[in-house]
Structures are given as structure tokens and as C-alpha cells.
Chains A and B, each alone.
Chain A
Amino acid sequence: MARSKKMRAVLSALALSVGLLCACSAVSTPVTTQKHRVALVVKSTETEFWKSAFAGAKAAATEYNLELSIRGPETEEDYKTQNEMIGQAVEDGAEALAFSAIDYENNVPAIEAAAQAGLKLVAIDSGVASDKISTYIGTDNYAAGKMAASAALQSGESQICVGLVNYDANSANGQEREKGVREILEQLDNVEIVQAMNVFSIAENARIRTEAMLKQHPEINVIIAFNEPTSVGAARAVRDLGLEEDVWLVGFDSNVETVDLLQSGVVDVLIVQNPYAMGYLGVESAYKLLAGQTDEVESTVDTATVLVTRENMFTPDCQKALFSFAGW
């Protein structure tokens, strides 16, 4: 009896101290997490759009102490190389992948394989047909398309003949934008989509094809180009043909060249996306998925788009959207 009391006292004292010590050690175990490895695989490494996205991704990698690798094929049509790059990222031991799919369908096997290998997947800018994606971060492309269509209607022409210069027909975001554009334009009687073409996402190719289109269909008075290289190419074509007065050009994204041509009247409207935010938020979401903060990752994040015209391009907000501060 007395012995058991004593034992109980001893045990409770020990339990108390052990408990305290455990509590202490639990608190004191430092967060010695090794650097997480995040891979960013995008459509291209050359355009200003993607350079800005890289800057954002790097900023997030620095902020969250991540090891970031960036890969992208030379052309925005080369989904095979992109698939290889995804495989490479998996081989290099990446734990999370932020990527922008060139091909909505053909990128699926590589993505599924990456998911199989346990990678957390974040889609930025352009999605892919897989349910293994934790979150999509980018422009609401359908809404951006509608925005572009509305901008096209501002041309002031009574009869509107539209030429669409889109890029890869398998790319999700381009198709979404075109869908948005058609949704608006096809309802209207005074609007006719004269030609819709898919060009390589290279400025020179876009220029040649746009020039050909304009020569073939001189009635075209509105052109909508759907990304940075096509916008640059279309703008060059309009400039070279001296049609800046006759053709209302709506482009996407900010490029030094299109900004220059916006001032000189060749380009009339730019729908400016927020690639820096895509890069930053893509890597941030990858980090959150790795850190287990899954609750904080929403399934879609709409990065804002800004409509820039000659009139508003130097307002503070448009300056911020158009001109990157990164690099300073």
C-alpha cells in the first residue's frame, strides 16, 4: 500500500519531468528542412513574358529558400522536348513541378508520370488535361479573350472584318482565348471573322503569315494576336505594310517592340497578363504543397490582366503592368 503510493509519486514525478522534457525537445527541434527542389518547365525561354515569369519564380524561390531549376524548349510547339524536360526534372529529384503545357493533350503522359513519381504539380499560364494538377495559376483566358474581343470592337469601324493570329492549336490557353473572342464576335452581325490561323509562336513566322493574310484579305480591319510573339509579328506586318491607320491591332502581353509600336499607333490595344505573378505564385504554390499547407492552395488563381491603350499606357497602373521592375 505504502509502497504503491511511493511508486505512484515517483512515477508521477518522472512522468511530469519527462513530459516537460519532451515538450521542450518537441519545441526545440529546429526546422532543419533541406531545400525543397522545384522545377519550372515552360513553353519558351526567350520571350519577355517568360523572362518576367522567371523573375517572379526566382523571387519566390529566394523567399521560400527553394532550389529552382528552369527549363523550356526553344519553340512553343515542341511538346516532345517539353515532355523530356519534365522527365528530366523528375530524374533530377524535383519534388514539385510548376509548368505551362504546350499541348493540352500530348503533355498528359509526362505529367501523369511525374505525378506517379510523387511530384506536386502546379499549372501556370496554360493547363493540361490531367486531374493530377493541384492548382492552375494564370490568366482567366476565356475572360481575356472576351476582353480582347471587346477591345476589337473599339476600332470605330462600322463593318468589322477580323483576322485572328493564334498560335499552337493544341495549346489550352490560346484556344480558350479564341473561344472567348468568338463568343463575343460571332454574335454580332457587323462582325465577320475573315480568317483565323494558327502560326508558329515565333515573331518572324507570325509576321510572314500576317502579311500574307493581309494581302489575301485586304478587307481585314481588325487583327487579334493571341500572345507575345504573334503580337510582335502581327505588329511588324502591319507596320511594314503601312496599314497602321487601317488596321486595328489587338495584341497580348508586353514586349518592348509592341510597346514602342503602341506609342506609334501600330498597335492599338494590349491585353497585358501578369507573368511575374504567375511565376511567383506558381513556385509559391509548389512550396505550399510541399510544406503541407495544402489548405492555402486554391484550385485556380486568376492573375489579373490589364487592358492597355495608347491613352492609358503611362498611367501608374499600366506602367506597372507593362514595364518590369525586376532586374533592378
Chain B
Amino acid sequence: MKRWRSRGRGMSMTSILVLMVVCIVAVALTGCMILFISRYQRAMEQSAKTSSEQAVEQVASVVGSYTRDMNQAMAMLVEALEEEEDPDAFFDNFLKIRPDVVAVTRYDSQGELLDCWALDRQPREHILENLSFDKRLLESGQESSISAPHVESIFEGYYPWVVTMTQKIDGEDGESWLALDLSFSNISSYINNVGIGQHGYCFLTDTGSSIVYHPQQQLLYSGIKNESAEEQLASRDGNYTQEDMICSVKDIEGSSWRVVGVSYVDELVTANVAVMIQIALTIVAAVLLVTAVSSLILSGVLSRPLHSLSNEMEKFEQNAAEYTYHPVKGAREVGALSDAFGHMVVKIQDLMAKVREEEINLRKTELKALQAQINPHFLYNTLDSIAWMCEQERSADAVQMVHALATLFRISISKGHELIPISKEIEHAKSYLQIQKYRYKNQFSYTFNVDPACEEFYCNKITLQPIIENAIYHGLDLMVEEGRIDVTVRQDGENIVFTVEDNGVGMSQEQVAHMLHREPGDRTGIGIKNVNDRLRIYFGEGYGLKITSELDEGTCVEIRMPKVKRGEYGEK
């Protein structure tokens, strides 16, 4: 219980070590990764803006050169109109080499259509509404303009979308206007193919913020989509971030058009960052795994000897006396600890041996003192009995008594040995009973039942006698009818078991419990407690006396000791 608690109190060294190392590494790595990823994200954002800006600049320069080109063409046409002898042929040729020019029209100062040049096409007789010329130009005082996209409305059966460039001509025959209707064919394929990222795109607007050309113009016209960058149309040149979009706006030089580039933060930045985060996480996971494994191995190397040392200590704790120490190998510190423990074990075992020896000596002294104390009393009584026998001339009985007494004393002394063969102990008990039987005038009978195989083993001397004495004095003495004492000796596995059974008055449970703790009184000789203590000191906790008793039924005392052979248990 106590051991369990002391173990359960803390985490094992391995866990602490692994946890600490992994935590530190994880925190450090996470910090690094966050720092790195935030830097990376910023860099990606910057590069997304830059690439968006570059794409827009590209488009601006291409479209700019296209508008410059068209301005030059316009100038050329104006010149041709005034100077060429056959302007119609010139215009036809011009239209042939410029398929993106749908029609060239000329208007007088009132805005009425004067001429129309278009390859193989003639304007309708009644033009419902001419979208190619905005009469508001006449009053505006502007020299030139570019219209918003519109449908070419002057032909029959032909309605392409165009923008119109208009230029005022101050000719000899008064002012007039020349208009070029341009389809988007020249710039559309270019703009359509501009990609910023995967889904980014560019479109053209004019300063009036209406869309001139958009790669998804039909989607816009069909009302399926709205250009979400419309908010930025009025913005000045530069980059704008709007929700998850990056808008780049750039004016086209020498034109009223501007280019807007739209790209998505998601695919340019977020996707890249996500990939980076994956890589980072993989690295973190791998590093953590390696760290965990290596710290596990390391802590294993460190803690294994400590574990075995602690196991050794546990073994020692459980059975200190018979423990033999096997040194534990490991780091120098562990080695030192192990050596120190080894020394300690030896020292403690020495001390334990010493304590036991002292205890045994103490008991021996006690035994001797007790023997000295009771023997005279017993002796006088016995001698009285013998004397009385002699007086009665029962010399045979007297002789027997004297013999028994002599045997009793011889064996009691046994040359000072503590352990004697069981046969001797039995003889001792028999002598004692014989004397007592005389003294008690055959008030009781006794039997011995000894397993002959047991006789060669040794036992502590004066083990049975105190118990028999106790049985006579406390069990049989008070009885009216004849008493009986049965002594048996038998083997029980590796043990020898003596039992002394009487049919006396018996004891209550309290008395039984008290029995093994009572100091010897005056009448009782070497106390039962003494016997029990001696056995335990000699053989350990598992051995000694066991008393079972029932009032008016009798008492049974069981003595258990190991099979002791001659020379064992240093019987001194």
C-alpha cells in the first residue's frame, strides 16, 4: 500500500524527460514555423501584388501601343482624306489590312452621315439610330473621343460590338468628323490570355468607369456575373486589396482607358501558404517524432539501471536477510549509487545478524535464568516424592523417578547446545511426564505418537516441556476425571509439526490470545511465550506456536518448525 503510493505519486523519469524534450522542441519549432510562415505569407502577398502589377503594366503597354497605333491610323486617314486623289481606294486598302476596323464613317458639322467605308457593306437606307456618332460631341468642344462599347447599328444583318474613335477634321470645306469603329479582335485575344495566377484576369475600362473590354464580357452582359472589382474602377493607379482580391489599376498613357487586373489572394497567397504550412507541419511532426523516439531511447538508457536498482531495493526490502546484491551497470553516477547500495546492503545484513545474535543470546540468558529459577522448586517437589516413595519402600518407583529426573536434567543441559535431536526432546518430555504422573498419582495418562522419520531432525530444547507443564497445571489439574495428554510429531512438507493435545478445561479465546504474550509467572516455568519467541527468532515469522482451545473440551497446541539438520542454525 505504502509502496504503491510512493510509486504513484510522480510521473516516471522517462515520461518527464520525453514530455519535456518534446514540449520544448514543439514550442521552439512552432515559434519558428509561425515566424517563418508569417514572413513567407508577407513575401507571397508582396509577390502577388507585384505580379498583378506587372501583368497590368504589360496589358497597359500593349493596349497603349494599340491605341497609339489607332491614333496614328486616324491621323493617316485624316491626311489621306484631304490629300489623296482617290481616298475611297485608300480606305478600302486600309480596311483590308486592318480587319479589326469594322467601318470608317464621316459626319458633317451637324452630325449627319456623309461617307461610310466598310468592306462590302453598305449602310441601311434608314438608320434607326447611329451609335457610332454621339451628337453631344458637337457641342462639347472636344477634338476627339473614344466611345463606350456599343453595337454597330448602321448595317443590315451585321451587329458586331465595337468602340468608336472619333476625330474632328478642320478641312477646307468646313469641319467634319471622322469615326473609326473598332472591334476588339486585336486586343481581345491578348487580354483573354492574360492570367494572374490561375483565375486572375485583366479588363479594360474607360474613365467613365464603364467596362470597355472584359474577358467575360458576355457573362457580364447576360447578367450572370458582376465584376466585383467595380468598386475599384474609379481608383487611381495602384494596388488595392478588396476582401480576397487584389486589384491593380493602371491608366493607359495617351488614352482614356485604364486596365484593371484582378487576382485572388486565395490562389496566389493562401494556397501557397497552405502548402507551406503542410510542409512545415510535416517537418514539425517528423522532428517531434524523432525527438520523442530519441528522448525515449536516451531516457531508457538513463533510467533502466535506476529501474533495476529500484527493483533490487524492492527485493531487499521484502527479504533483507536472504538478499544477495547483484551490482547494476549503468552511467558512472548510477554505478556509484549501486556500489553505495551494495555497501549498505552488506552493512544492514551485518547489523541484522548482530541484532539477531544478540536477541538469541538474550533469550538464552533468559532461559537459563528461568531454568535456574524453577528447577529448584520442581526438584524439591520431585525429591520429596522420591523420599516419600522410599519411605513407602516403593524402591522400584523411586528408581524410575530418579532415572527420569536424571534424564530430564541431562537433556535440559545438553552440554549447553540449544538445538537437540527431536528424539532427545521427546525423551525429555517423557521423563517430565513420568515424574509428573507419579506426582499426580496417575491422575492422567499420556501417549506419544512420533513419526520415526522426524527423530533425526533437530529442535530447540525444552520446547515441549513448558507446553506439557501448562497443560497439566492449567488443563488437567482442575479436572475431576482422568486427564489425557497426546503428543504427536509429524512431518508437514518441509516442516515438522509437534502437537500437544489435552482434554482439560480448555480456555476462552481471550485467554488463548493472552497466552502468547504473558510473561512467565512463578508457577509456570519457561513460559509458552518464551518458546514461541525462541522459535521465531530462530526460524522466522512463519514458525512458532498455534493454540486452539475450547472450554471444557481441551486445548491443542501446535508447534511448527522447519526440518533442521545437524549443524544448521549455528546452535550455540
Contact = CB atoms under 8 A, between A and B. Distances in A.
A1 B7 contact: yes
A307 interface: no
A59 B292 CA distance: 54
A14 B286 CA distance: 10
A280 B225 CA distance: 11
A8 B218 CA distance: 64
Contacts of A291: none
A59 B219 CA distance: 9
Q: Is the interface of A mostly helix, strand, loop or mixed?
A: helix
Contacts of B150: 314, 316, 319
A325 B19 contact: no
A17 interface: yes
Interface stretch (B109-117, B154-162, B417-425): B154-162
A24 B282 contact: yes
Given A280-B222, A310-B128, A14 B217 contact: no
B161 A5 contact: no
Contact of A260 (B157, B222, B281, B285): B157
A13 B18 contact: yes
Nearest to A321: B221
Contacts of B221: 276, 320-321, 325
Residue picked from A9, A256, A304, most chain B C-beta under 10 Å: A9
B185 interface: yes
Nearest to B22: A13
A326 B284 contact: no
B131 interface: yes
B151 A277 contact: no
A324 interface: yes
B68 interface: no
Contact of A6 (B12, B218, B222, B278): B12
A8 B11 CA distance: 11
Contact of B222 (A5, A8, A56): A56
Nearest to B14: A6
A6 B293 CA distance: 12
Contact of B281 (A6, A23, A55, A319): A23
B570 interface: no
A325 B275 CA distance: 39
Nearest to A280: B224
A274 interface: yes
Interface in B101-142: 124, 126, 128-129, 131
A8 B296 CA distance: 12
A24 B284 CA distance: 11
A188 interface: no
A88 B282 CA distance: 48
B447 interface: no
A326 B14 contact: no
B15 A14 contact: no
A259 interface: yes
B153 interface: yes
Interface in A100-133: none
B259 to A, nearest CB: 18
Size category of the B interface is 35 or more
Contact of A328 (B12, B156, B159, B183): B183
A265 to B, nearest CB: 9
A21 B274 CA distance: 15
A260 B218 CA distance: 21
B542 interface: no
A115 to B, nearest CB: 27
Interface string A276-306: 1100110000000000000000000000100
A3 B493 CA distance: 38
A319 B151 contact: yes
Contacts of B12: 2, 5-6, 9
Contact of A17 (B161, B222, B285, B307): B285
Residue from the set A2, A259, A314 with the largest chain B CB neighbour count within 10 Å: A2
Contacts of A27: 274, 277-278, 281
Contacts of B289: 13-14, 17
Contacts of B160: 328
A59 B15 contact: no
A259 B124 contact: no
Contacts of A6: 12, 14-15, 296
Contact of B224 (A24, A277, A313, A324): A277
A102 to B, nearest CB: 24
Interface string A3-44: 001101110011011001101100110000000000000000
B223 interface: yes
Interface in B308-357: none
B228 to A, nearest CB: 15
Given A28-B278, A277-B222, A20 B288 contact: yes
Interface in A213-250: none
A154 interface: no
16 contacts: A1-B8, A5-B12, A5-B15, A6-B14, A16-B22, A21-B282, A24-B278, A27-B274, A28-B278, A264-B126, A310-B128, A319-B150, A320-B222, A324-B218, A328-B160, A328-B183
Interface of A: 1-2, 5-6, 8-10, 13-14, 16-17, 20-21, 23-24, 27-28, 55-56, 59, 256-257, 259-260, 263-264, 274, 276-277, 280-281, 304, 310, 313-314, 316, 319-326, 328
Given A13-B288, A280-B222, 12 more contacts: A1-B8, A5-B15, A10-B292, A13-B18, A20-B285, A23-B281, A274-B223, A276-B224, A314-B128, A314-B131, A314-B153, A325-B161
